[in-house]
């Protein structure tokens, strides 16, 4: 595959992957024509690279925990008349090996080499260390 890049974003207010799924399928008003959009202010300058195989990686409670393939970008005009970027997402949420991530605003680019690997089906609850221990070890520089 040619070069691609991912996006990474905090899932603010989400407590779990199940919460992210519930939000997207049940409570979000960001569904149009059967597609889920994550609306953001900034349009990626590296749009072509993202669309060449990129995903959005979701940070939940300080850990990258899941990703969704990015299918496209659509212009969305808000009620305030401001142009925004609607990131069109594949409905499938793929769990990834948890990786610690400090808070940041907006979204960032994530190089594929720095992205955590997908978990195999059935491996979801099979992490090597509990999240709290993993976080504590990372804070003191052990991992």
Residue-wise pLDDT for 67-82, tens only, equals 999 999 999 888 899 9
Residue 78 CA to residue 31 CA, distance in Å, equals 14
The pLDDT confidence band at residue 10, using thresholds 50, 70 and 90, is: very high
The pLDDT confidence band at residue 110, using thresholds 50, 70 and 90, is: very high
Beta-carbon contacts of residue 77 (< 8 Å; ≥ 6 apart): 83, 84
Beta bridge partners of 57: 8, 67
């Amino acid at each position: 595959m040619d070069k691609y890049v991912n996006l990474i974003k905090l899932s603010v207010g989400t407590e779990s992957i199940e919460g992210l799924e519930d939000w997207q399928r049940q409570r979000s008003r960001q569904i149009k024509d059967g597609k889920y959009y994550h609306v953001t202010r900034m349009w990626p300058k590296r749009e072509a690279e993202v669309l060449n195989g990129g995903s959005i990686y979701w940070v939940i409670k300080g850990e990258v925990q899941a990703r969704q393939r990015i299918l496209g970008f659509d212009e969305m005009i808000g009620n305030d008349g401001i142009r925004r970027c609607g990131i069109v997402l594949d409905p499938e949420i793929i769990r990834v090996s948890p990786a610690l991530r400090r808070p940041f605003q907006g979204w960032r680019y994530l190089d594929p080499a720095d992205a955590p690997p997908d978990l195999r089906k059935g491996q979801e609850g099979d992490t090597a260390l509990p999240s709290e221990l993993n976080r504590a070890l990372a804070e003191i520089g052990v991992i």
